[in-house]
């Protein structure tokens, strides 16, 4: 069977690495030649909007999916004419727009920070009146790794913020700033049959808007909290008739969860599942997309995932650290760029942190 | 870094799958087009003895290795002129010949079944006089999966056996038939620095000469037995100045180990290490060959590995079994052919056998 993947970055590469042992073959579409996917399948180099390229991509596929959410929904719709594509174009569109995400959360009774859509940047003053300060101004679409977000501490800073905005941002949304205790995420997966499974909540630590460290399962999470997060994710999966891995990012404040956003794909905060869970998020996404039974989401001990950003570290020194699993994506190093990650697994947190310490020192942010 | 692999079967494919996450790229040489390796690297289709092909293969490699032991030693020697190749041609030659293996065992004080080399098939009667019956007549070279072996129960069967021999077998060796309790193997790995590590002994079950089931760590093996096997392997590694994974196959009779043969490569009885050990045999072989520090050989629970032979089983049904890890090699099904394997890992044997039972039923030998 051949699986088509729109996007050929590290997520596509890891989908390929999970699928090859299942006997699957892969075809990727990515405008960048020699993308990280190129070693695990055929890569078509071309545009997501060129009909001839899309038809060439879709020819002979058994199923298709995407590995980043800025693929145009119309691209998914065109491919879906001839090949089953999961998640659906509708789910993708919902996740592409912060306003439709928030509206969906609200309609399903999932708590979310207060928000106020701006149809124009000039509406900012009215939004600040409603939301109060501090608030976060975000582009509704195409934000990632903290890009497209501006913190507004005081209403009188609004003009300065407006002057910093890119010339023509997509439409904007103003959100209440959440003084959260922790950021967590839930990786959920739903099969074509409607069966859903959930990994345990993951605790995420960001630095400059970029995910740096994930701890899984998130320490000190009660059964009730895990159940609440799963119930929210289950509502989203059902409503969207979702197939594949869906990531729900949440703020945790005391015992309360606030939904921040969803990613309609495998997610950086789920990389630990490769070694730390019975079935990785990548394998489960493929199982779901192909209509196979889902695999167990049980943990194998506890895990920490550390992103390698920017310059390549001393790999030999990292390989000398016990219980670590190094993953490099074959990307050219560039400041702030995710070029790999290291997962440390053990039976207890003490052992994990003991091995994580040298890894953190060997792969600092650059 | 680019690693060259002579041979592009499932072992090469799994080397590639282990090396891609480390950021390595692969080039394979195999005479068969579309070998299992073809999805994880570049495949050159050509002969192991064509100098121009070998030069094209070697160009730009950082290191090279082989994934099956019938690669001509001269091929390794030629590539070694321009690229570091491990294991060495000398280690390969030793392992290619049952007589030199046995002589090496004997010279190192490693117990081995009695043996008698035949320079011609007509020497069989003299050999049977010396060894006694039952005995096993084997081709010295190119045997695999029980091929090239003939059991001689009684001396008077010798003529019948001789009539069954292929027209012109390579030279022969007669070995005493061992009434073993169990067949076990030890996967050992030695780095360029001389550092050696050992996985626990594995219990192997064959059917028709083909490995069917491996249990790791081999149940009911004493610390002394593990130490003895490691001591034998350590002598072999040192004497051969070996770099890479070496597999030592042994018979276990009571508390006594008898060395049967060595394989100068990653081995079917080590496939469980992908999920069942901290570092897989494939990753450790690559680390050794590239001069990187070796990874931990500690187990993650207990594991059973079941080979899928012949016809493809119902994959969906296998995927529905919890705690299983399916590996397919992308090979055309053919009677008796290894086309994949399933590893089951758990914290105890009861749980492993519970999951293994449906797998055995779903993937019978065909």
* Calpha distance A186→A251 (Å, rounded): 11
Average pLDDT over residues B351-357: 96
User: Are A292 and B325 an interchain contact pair (Cβ–Cβ within 8 Å)?
Assistant: no
Q: How far is CA A88 from the centre of its chain?
A: 16
According to DSSP, residue A277 is labeled B
Q: Do domains B2-85 and B114-176 have the same CATH topology?
A: no
> Which residues of chain B approach chain A closer than 8 Å at the C-beta?
13, 17, 20-23, 25-26, 39-41, 278, 287, 292-293, 295-296, 300, 315-316, 319-320, 322-323, 325-330, 340
| Mean pLDDT for chain A overall | 94
Residue B70 has a pLDDT of 92
* Calpha distance A336→A110 (Å, rounded): 33
Distances (CA, A) of A146 to A114, A136, A142, A172, A294: 19, 11, 11, 15, 32
Per-residue pLDDT tens over the stretch A195-227: 999 999 999 999 988 999 999 999 999 999 999
Residue labelled with tokens 């990187």: B292
Nearest to B21 among A21, A26, A327 (CB): A327
Helices B281-290 + B10-19 axis angle, to 10: 70
Residue A167 has a pLDDT of 56
pLDDT at A147 over 80: no
Of the candidates B136, B145, B147, the residue with the CA atom closest to the CA atom of residue B173: B136
* Calpha distance B186→B25 (Å, rounded): 28
Nearest to B316 among A13, A293, A329 (CB): A293
Average pLDDT over residues A70-83: 97
**From 3.40.630.10, 3.40.50.1000, 3.30.470.20, 1.10.1060.10, which CATH number describes the A182-362 domain?**
3.30.470.20
Per-residue pLDDT tens over the stretch A174-197: 999 999 999 999 999 999 999 999
Per-residue pLDDT tens over the stretch B197-212: 999 999 999 998 899 9
Residue A170 has a pLDDT of 64
Residue B122 has a pLDDT of 80
* Calpha distance A333→B209 (Å, rounded): 49
The neighbour count for residue B249, using CB atoms within 10 Å, is 18
Query: What's the pLDDT band for B171 if we cut at 50, 70, 90?
Result: confident
User: What are B139-142's contacts with CB under 8 Å, separation 24+?
Assistant: B139/B98, B139/B169, B139/B170, B139/B171, B139/B172, B139/B173, B140/B97, B140/B98, B140/B99, B140/B170, B140/B171, B140/B172, B140/B173, B141/B70, B141/B96, B141/B97, B141/B98, B141/B170, B141/B171, B142/B70, B142/B170
User: Are A319 and B21 an interchain contact pair (Cβ–Cβ within 8 Å)?
Assistant: no
Query: What's the pLDDT band for A270 if we cut at 50, 70, 90?
Result: very high
Which residues, 6 or more positions from B140, have their beta carbon under 8 angstroms from its beta carbon?
B97, B98, B99, B117, B170, B171, B172, B173
Residue B119 has a pLDDT of 80
pLDDT at A271 over 60: yes
* Calpha distance A168→B89 (Å, rounded): 65
Share of residues in chain A with pLDDT > 90 (%): 84
Query: What's the pLDDT band for B283 if we cut at 50, 70, 90?
Result: very high
Average pLDDT over residues A7-21: 98
Residue B164 has a pLDDT of 78
Distance between A77 CA and the closest CA of chain B, angstroms: 28
Residue B163 has a pLDDT of 80
Residue B169 has a pLDDT of 61
Count of pairs with CB atoms under 8 A, one residue in A, one in B = 76
Six-digit token string for B208:
């028709």
According to DSSP, residue A181 is labeled S
pLDDT at A168 over 80: no
Per-residue pLDDT tens over the stretch B108-162: 999 999 999 988 778 888 999 999 999 999 988 877 777 788 899 998 888 888 8
Residue of B10, B21, B34, B291 for testing the chain A interface, max A β-carbons within 10 Å: B21
Partners of residue B13 in chain A, C-beta under 8 Å: 20
User: Which range has the worst mean pLDDT, A163-167, B43-47, B79-83, B92-96?
Assistant: A163-167
Distance between A243 CA and the closest CA of chain B, angstroms: 17
More confident residue, A163 or B187: B187
Q: Are A81 and A55 in contact (CB under 8 A)?
A: no
Residue B208 has a pLDDT of 86
User: Are A296 and B21 an interchain contact pair (Cβ–Cβ within 8 Å)?
Assistant: no
The 3-class SS string of chain B reads CEEEEECCCHHHHHHHHHHHHHCCEEEEEECCCCCHHHHCCEEEECCCCCHHHHHHHHCCCCEEEECCCCCCHHHHHHHHCCCCECCCHHHHHHHHCHHHHHHHHHHCCCCCCCEEEECCHHHHHHHHHHHCCCEEEEECCCCCCCCCEEEECCHHHHHHHHHHCCCCCCCEEEEECCCCCEEEEEEEEECCCCCEEECCCEEEEEECCEEEEEEECCCCCCHHHHHHHHHHHHHHHHHCCCCEEEEEEEEEECCEEEEEEEECCCCHHHCCHHHHECCCHHHHHHHHHHCCCCCCCCECCEEEEEEEECCCCCHHHHHCCCCEEEEECCCCCCCCCEEEEEEEEECCHHHHHHHHHHHHHHCCCC
pLDDT at A134 over 70: yes
User: Are B40 and A41 an interchain contact pair (Cβ–Cβ within 8 Å)?
Assistant: no
Average pLDDT over residues A307-336: 93
Residue B356 has a pLDDT of 96
Per-residue pLDDT tens over the stretch A232-256: 999 999 999 999 999 999 999 999 9
User: Are A316 and B293 an interchain contact pair (Cβ–Cβ within 8 Å)?
Assistant: yes
Per-residue pLDDT tens over the stretch B323-350: 999 999 999 999 889 999 999 999 999 9
Which residues, 6 or more positions from B220, have their beta carbon under 8 angstroms from its beta carbon?
none
User: Are B327 and A21 an interchain contact pair (Cβ–Cβ within 8 Å)?
Assistant: yes
Question: Cα B351–A188–B21 angle (5° rounding)?
Answer: 75
Six-digit token string for A206:
């960001």
Compute the half-sphere exposure of residue B317: CA atoms within 13 Å on the CB side of its CA: 11
More confident residue, B198 or A154: B198
Share of residues in chain A with pLDDT > 70 (%): 98
pLDDT at B167 over 70: no
According to DSSP, residue A21 is labeled G
Residue A27 has a pLDDT of 98
Partners of residue A329 in chain B, C-beta under 8 Å: 23
Residue A164 has a pLDDT of 78
User: Are A23 and B325 an interchain contact pair (Cβ–Cβ within 8 Å)?
Assistant: no
Per-residue pLDDT tens over the stretch B209-230: 899 999 999 999 999 999 999 9
CATH fold of A114-176: Dna Ligase; domain 1 (3.30.1490)
Average pLDDT over residues A73-100: 97
Residue of A3, A23, A195 for testing the chain B interface, max B β-carbons within 10 Å: A23
Query: What's the pLDDT band for B168 if we cut at 50, 70, 90?
Result: low
Strand partners, B307: B341
Distance between A287 CA and the closest CA of chain B, angstroms: 9
Query: What's the pLDDT band for A366 if we cut at 50, 70, 90?
Result: low
pLDDT at B51 over 90: yes
User: Are B23 and A328 an interchain contact pair (Cβ–Cβ within 8 Å)?
Assistant: yes
Residue labelled with tokens 């039976």: A347
All structural domains of chain B with their residue ranges: 2-85, 114-176, 182-362
- Helix count and strand count (H, E) for chain A: 12, 17
Find the closest chain A residue to B27 by CA distance. A39
Find the closest chain A residue to B296 by CA distance. A322
Residue A149 has a pLDDT of 87
More confident residue, B93 or A156: B93
Per-residue pLDDT tens over the stretch B71-94: 999 999 999 999 999 999 999 999
Residue A115 has a pLDDT of 96
More confident residue, A113 or A140: A113
Average pLDDT over residues A129-143: 89
Query: What's the pLDDT band for B364 if we cut at 50, 70, 90?
Result: confident
Share of residues in chain B with pLDDT > 70 (%): 98
State in Å, rounded, how far the first CA of chain A is from the last one. 40
Helices A89-96 + A98-107 axis angle, to 10: 100
Residue B123 has a pLDDT of 86
Helices A89-96 + A73-80 axis angle, to 10: 180
Residue A7 has a pLDDT of 98
Query: What's the pLDDT band for B366 if we cut at 50, 70, 90?
Result: low
Of the candidates B198, B181, B186, the residue with the CA atom closest to the CA atom of residue B251: B181
The CATH code of the domain at A2-85 is: 3.40.50.20
């Amino acid at each position: 069977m051949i699986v088509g993947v729109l996007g050929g970055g590290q997520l596509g590469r890891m989908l390929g690495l999970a699928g090859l042992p299942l006997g699957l073959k892969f075809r990727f579409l990515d405008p960048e030649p020699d993308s990280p996917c190129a070693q695990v399948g055929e890569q078509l180099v071309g545009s997501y909007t060129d009909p001839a390229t899309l038809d060439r991509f879709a020819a002979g596929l058994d199923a298709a999916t995407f590995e980043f959410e800025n693929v145009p929904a119309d691209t998914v719709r065109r491919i879906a004419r001839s090949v089953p594509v999961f998640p659906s174009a509708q789910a993708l569109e919902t996740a592409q727009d912060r306003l439709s995400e928030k509206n969906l959360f609200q309609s399903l009774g999932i708590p979310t920070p207060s928000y106020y859509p701006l149809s124009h940047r000039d509406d900012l003053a009215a939004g600040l009146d409603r939301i109060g300060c501090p608030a976060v101004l975000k582009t509704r679409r195409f934000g990632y790794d903290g890009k497209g977000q501006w913190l507004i501490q005081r209403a009188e800073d609004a003009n300065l913020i407006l002057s910093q905005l890119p010339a023509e941002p997509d439409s904007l949304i103003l959100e209440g700033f959440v003084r959260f205790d922790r950021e967590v995420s839930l990786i959920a997966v739903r099969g074509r049959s409607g069966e859903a499974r959930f990994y345990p909540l993951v605790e995420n630590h960001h630095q400059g808007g970029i995910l740096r460290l994930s701890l899984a399962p998130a320490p000190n999470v009660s059964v009730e909290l895990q159940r609440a997060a799963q119930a929210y994710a289950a509502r989203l999966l059902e409503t969207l008739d979702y197939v594949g891995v869906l990531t729900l990012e949440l703020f945790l404040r005391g015992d309360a969860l606030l939904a921040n956003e969803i990613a309609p794909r495998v997610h950086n905060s789920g990389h630990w599942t490769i070694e730390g869970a019975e079935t990785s998020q990548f394998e489960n996404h493929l199982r779901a997309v192909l209509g196979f039974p889902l695999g167990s989401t049980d943990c194998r001990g506890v895990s920490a995932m550390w992103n390698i950003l920017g310059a390549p570290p001393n790999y030999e020194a990292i390989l000398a650290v016990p219980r670590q699993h190094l993953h490099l994506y074959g990307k050219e190093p560039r400041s702030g760029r995710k070029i790999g990650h290291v997962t440390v697994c053990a039976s207890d947190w003490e052992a994990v942190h003991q091995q994580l310490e040298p890894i953190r020192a060997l792969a600092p942010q650059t």
